[in-house]
Each structure stands twice: as structure tokens, then as C-alpha cells.
A and B are shown apart, each in its own frame.
Chain A
Amino acid sequence: MRRKARTTVRKSARGTALLAVAIALAVSGIAACGGSPAATTADGKTELTWAMWVSGTEDTNAWQKVADEAGAAAGVHITLQGSTFSDHFTKMSTQLAAGDAPCLVAVQSLRTAQLKDGMLPLGDLVKSNNFDLSVFDKSMLDGLSADGNLYALPYDVGPVMMFYNKDMFAAAGVPEPKPGWTTAEFLEAAKKLTTGGKYGIAANPNDLAIESQVLAFNGGRVLTPAGKLDLGNADFASGLQWVSDLTNVQKVSPQFPGGDALFYAANQFYSSAVAMSVDGPWSLLDAKAKARFNVGVTTLPAGPGGGKTYSAGSGWGISKNCATPDKAFAALKEMTSAKILGELGSAGRALPARTAQQQLWIDHANIPGVADTLKAASADAVPIPSNPASEQLGQLFNQYLVKAINGQEPAASVMTDIAAQMPPS
């Protein structure tokens, strides 16, 4: 027993040492990576933190460059706090709830109404700075507004369009679609393209995609331009039925496998399983890089009474708990300046929300037909409104639309189910 005790004491001494190391690491964790940044830097400049979604080192560096340039021009120091795009909303919600959000916050036009309670309306700052808003795309200014107040300055914009596989079109002998084509032409093309295990288009229950398709078909909307919910809209239900019929009646789209809609249609498109995909300019360069075929773009097919499309984009605003809103707005002015947005456009990182700089993006994209499509789509684009329950709506679309698409339930009945779980207005 005693001999055993000696060895076990030695072993437990090792265990204690390990614990001590762990505690030391924990303590050094406090010391090494400190808590909140100082309000001013050493040279007296105001310190601003900027919450933005980034993906990877290259992306981070590019946005850091924006932060440095804008900061230098505005006389402040901007620190980039990058999070992932898909989780940005969750993170922002938590930080705003705790009153801990950074001064500069990135926000998507679709989610403006949800975060607006934590953000500063920019109307007064725009006026006091004599800031000219007319250089920005009007649909984005509307998109980033809620209750009549502008909450963010836009940096990118994009109308929802249709991507198509030029090679598959050529192989099936289908003429390439021109901007402004009709749903009848679309259906004919899709039928010809559905052959040999491939399909014409992939279903996309993502809220932006489905709402745009229905809007283009017959003008049906679930959100009024003022941002109120209209889930019982009969036009939307019949438009949704038309889109769903593509899968289970017309059979030009494969059965939807359920789950997260984001990137599903795009991935089907890149692997040439389908010939068309509803998407926006933000994905165009990724499509060009990943697809092994020639990518073409055109407008969404216009149905009777439809013909419009939604434009969506993102911008940057100021959180309510920011101690220095004036400095923050000065930074925003620089971040959305013609110079910086122009740089972003030429690098293909964003289609600038400043109309004058958009050509730079088009030149960089170098895809035939993109200029005409953008022009046509933007002419018919309306801003997608946001509602405080937009996230819940998107979530419910993900859950329920699969039933309509796969033909298990009529679209009107699916919309009733969704409406039952949404707040009244």
C-alpha cells in the first residue's frame, strides 16, 4: 500500500502541476488579450470599432485597408471587428442588447428594421453635415430606411437577376435570354434544358430569391413598400404556386432536399446540375471563379403584371451606444466616399451604391451582357422592405416552402401556416 502511495502521490503531483499550468494560462489570457479598446489612441485620435462581416485573410485585409484609408481621411482610428456573414446578425443582436456594440455597424437592407432600435437615425447628421445623398442608388437609401428614418449609408447594391449556363443553353439549342424576357420564354427554355438528368433551374426558398421571383411574375408581395406584413396577399400566393409548380408540375426543377436554402441553388448551378439560378451581382464573381462554364446573366423572367425585381444591399450605420456619433459619421462619409467605393468596385468586392462608380465594377467583372442586364434590372428594381420580423419570415420560408415546392401542400395553405407563426403586423 505504501509503495503504491508513493507512485500515486507522484502522479497526483503531476496532475496538480497540470492544473497550475491551466490556471496560469487562464490568468495570462486576461493579461494578454485585453478587454475594451481605449476611447482615444496615443496621438489623440478617436478610436472607433467597426463591425463588418469578413471571410478569410484576403477579405480582412481589404476591409482593413478601407478602415485605414477612411480613418486617415476622417482623422480617426478605425479598428475592424470582423465576424462571419451568416452569424453577423446573431452577434449584432447580442451586442446591441448588451449595449456593447461597436460604433460602426454593418447592416443588410433586409434586416434594417430588426436592428433599428439599436441604431442611430442618420437624418440629423446628414443635414448637419450637408451630406449629398443623391449620389447614392435611391433603392438602397429606401432599403436601409425604416419608419421614414435612414439608418445606414449604403455601400453596395444589387438587383436580383438570373444567372444561366451559356454552354448548356448552346448545347440544348436554346437562344440566350435577353433582358426583359417573359416567363413563357423562360418556361420553354427550362423545358428544353431539362434533359439527361439535368434540370432547367434549382428551387430557391431563400427569402430574397423567392420574393423576387414572385414579384417578377405577378407583382405579388408579402411586405408592403412601407414594410408591413401582408402574408395573406393573394397575388403572392398564386405567384408562389407558379414557382412551386416549376418543380412538381412542370418538372423543370429537381425536388428540393430540404434544409438551408442559402447557397443550395448556387451550388447546383456551379456543378452544372441545373442551367439557371436566381442570384445577384454579389455572387457573380464567385460564380465566374467556381463554374467551369461560361456564365451569363439576364433579368428575372417577367410574368403578366410583374416585371419588377428587388434590389438588396448593405450599408454601415452607427449604434445608439456610440459615444462619438459625430466622429462616427465623419468616418461613414469617408467609408462611402467615391474614392473608396470606386476601389471596392474595381476590385470586384462590391457593386458600389454610388451610381457613378458602378461602371468600375462592370469593367472589372468583364462578363458580356452584364452592363445591359444591370441597367435593365436596376430600372425595374424596387427596394426590398424590411420588417422587424423579417428574420423569422426568412426562417419560416426555409421551413415551410419546401412543402409547396415539392407539391405536398398548395402555396396558399403554406402561406396560411406561415402567417399563423408570424406576429400580427
Chain B
Amino acid sequence: MTLSSPAPWAFRIRQGIGYALLCLVALAFLTPLIFMVATSLKAPADIFTVPPTLVGSEVRWKNYAEAFTFTPFLRYLVNGVIVATAGTAITVAVAALSGYAFSRLRWRGRNLVFAAFLATLMIPQEVLVVPMYIMMQKLSWVNTFTALIVPWAFTAFGAFLLRQFFLTIPHELDDAARVDGAGPVRTFLSVMLPLARPSLAVLAVFSFISNWNSFIWPLVVINDVPKLATVPLGLQQFFSSQSSNWHLVMAASTVSMAPTVIILILLQRHLVRGIVTSGFGGR
């Protein structure tokens, strides 16, 4: 058995170059974002200069304060957090249950029902908006938080994601649990859920973002914009029939990214490695 390990310093250099390359790639990907922040600090007349510059004639920190007084943007951020959190909670809860059902439990018609679940993903939301609106009318949910949270929280996306993750868990763990006398519920709560932490975290992030950025549905179903609007709808408020306030839009957009970044950072802790190995002992 030969180990062809290069000299330590060569290894370090290779690692260093790899790291530098990674940083370069990251910077390239961040360029549009850098421009977004740069635009948020410009005066309106500097945004569309030809060619575009990073810094305008002045650095307008007050754009950020102005964004919050021009519209009740803080309210929109809070609304967004409420709606996205509640929606995510529902999505994760029902998807964990159904993902387990589609992967670890055997029952008649399982594959057919799963196919039906998947099929619901294939219709674009734009065409469902009008019938859904009429349904909200019938339920008297128009212009409420409920209408923002509930209708799309049952998306089949979660079931699909969790099913795939559950399918990678070795069957020995089910068998071990069964030998220990656990029924499906105990197995689910004690064995499957903890192991599925990474995928639950991923689903939570995706749901949160999807809820956070949802535009057409809140547009149609919310009438009282200053009180109930979420962030994308709120961002549109900076455009009027007479003008576009891009400097404020950019400032508000930069701020509106903060909650989702925070959620991502918090949930990253759950994307830990080697969880599945813990069930093996010394095999």
C-alpha cells in the first residue's frame, strides 16, 4: 500500500490556490449583489449613468432611512416574517408526515397517490390564481393573513424532498426499531425525524424563501396594502404612476434579504455531516 503524499508545503500551496480560486468565484457570483448595494447608496440621477459606476456623486446613507418612511416597510418585513414562518411550519409538518408515508410505509395505492402529489407541481401558479381567489372569497379569507399562509402551504414539493431523503436511510434502522417494539409513530418520532434534520432544514429554508418572495398571490388577495402586504408587494410601492424610486427599492431590497440570510445561517447548524453513521455502531 503506497501513499503518494506530496511534500507538505506543496500541499499547502495547492490548498491555498484552491482557496483563492474559491474566493474569486465567490466574488464573481457576488458582483450583482455588490451592485445592488452600491445602487442603494446612490442618488437617483446617478443610478443609470452610462457607463455604470460603483459610487455615485454622493454616498446616500439616508436612502435606507427614507425607504422606511416612504412606505411602512418595517411592517412589510414583519408581515413577511409572520407569513413565511407560519407557512413554513405547516409545510414542514405535513411534508415530514407524508414524506415518511411515501418512503418507509407500504400501503396500497402509495405510488399512485405520490404521482398525484407530484402532478400538482406541474400546473403553474399563475393560472391557479383566479380560481383560488374565488375560493378565498367563498371562505371569507380575502384580505387576511390566513389567505397568505394556508393555500400554498400544502405544496407537494416538501413531500418529494423528504421522501428522497428518507429513502437513503438504511432499512436496518426501521428493523431495529421494530425489534425494539416501536410502531410507526414511535419509529417516526424517535428514529426518522432526527435523522432527517438536514432535509427538514433544507425544506424549511426553501419554504421560507418561497413564502417570502411570493408576489402574484399577495397582490391578488391583499386589499389593505399598508397593513397586510408582504415584502415583494411592498417593494412595488416604491413605483408610482409618475416615477420609479430605484434608490429606495435597492435599499429596501438589501434590508429585505436580512431575514432570509438569518434563517439560512440559523438552519445551517442542522446541515451537519455524519448523522446517518450514528446508527451503525461499529459495523
A residues whose Cβ falls under 8 Å from a Cβ of B: 1, 4-5, 8-9, 11-12, 15, 18-19, 21-23, 25-30, 32-36, 49, 53-60, 81-87, 90-91, 94, 97-98, 100, 102, 197, 254, 262-263, 266-268, 270-273, 282-283, 285-286, 290-292, 314
In Å, the complex CA distance between A53 and B243 comes to 13
B residues whose Cβ falls under 8 Å from a Cβ of A: 44-50, 69-72, 82, 85-86, 89-90, 93, 129-130, 133-134, 137, 140-146, 148-150, 176, 180, 186, 189-191, 193-194, 219-220, 223-228, 233, 236-244, 246
Chain A hits for B228, CB < 8 A = 33
Residues A12 and B189 in contact, CB atoms below 8 Å apart = yes
Residues A12 and B193 in contact, CB atoms below 8 Å apart = yes
| Contact for B194 among A8, A32, A83, A84, CB less than 8 A | A8
Chain A hits for B82, CB < 8 A = 25
B178 shortest CB reach to chain A, Å: 12
Are A263 and B69 also in contact (CB < 8 A) when A29-B144, A29-B149, A33-B143 are? no
Report 12 cross-chain contacts, Cβ distance below 8 Å, ordered by A residue: A4-B194, A8-B194, A12-B189, A19-B89, A22-B93, A29-B149, A33-B143, A57-B226, A84-B236, A102-B223, A270-B44, A270-B45
Closest to B42 in A: A271
Residues A35 and B142 in contact, CB atoms below 8 Å apart = yes
Are A11 and B140 also in contact (CB < 8 A) when A94-B220, A270-B48, A271-B47 are? no
B209 shortest CB reach to chain A, Å: 17
Residues A29 and B145 in contact, CB atoms below 8 Å apart = yes
With most chain A CB atoms within 10 A of its CB, the pick from B72, B146, B246 is B146
Residues A84 and B237 in contact, CB atoms below 8 Å apart = yes
In Å, the complex CA distance between A153 and B177 comes to 74
**What secondary structure prevails in chain B residues at the interface with A?**
helix
In Å, the complex CA distance between A157 and B12 comes to 71
Residues A97 and B130 in contact, CB atoms below 8 Å apart = yes
With most chain B CB atoms within 10 A of its CB, the pick from A81, A263, A270, A283 is A270
B96 shortest CB reach to chain A, Å: 9
A272 shortest CB reach to chain B, Å: 7
In Å, the complex CA distance between A282 and B134 comes to 35
Residues A290 and B219 in contact, CB atoms below 8 Å apart = no
Chain A hits for B129, CB < 8 A = 94
Chain A hits for B146, CB < 8 A = 26-27, 29-30
Chain B hits for A26, CB < 8 A = 86, 90, 145-146, 149-150
Chain A hits for B149, CB < 8 A = 25-26, 29
Are A25 and B219 also in contact (CB < 8 A) when A82-B226, A286-B243 are? no
In Å, the complex CA distance between A271 and B46 comes to 6
Are A59 and B143 also in contact (CB < 8 A) when A26-B149, A270-B44 are? no
A258 shortest CB reach to chain B, Å: 15
Chain A hits for B69, CB < 8 A = 57
Pairs of residues from A and B, 3 with the lowest C-beta to C-beta distance, nearest first: A29-B145, A55-B240, A22-B89
| Contact for B45 among A82, A283, A292, CB less than 8 A | A292
A382 shortest CB reach to chain B, Å: 21
Chain B hits for A268, CB < 8 A = 48, 50
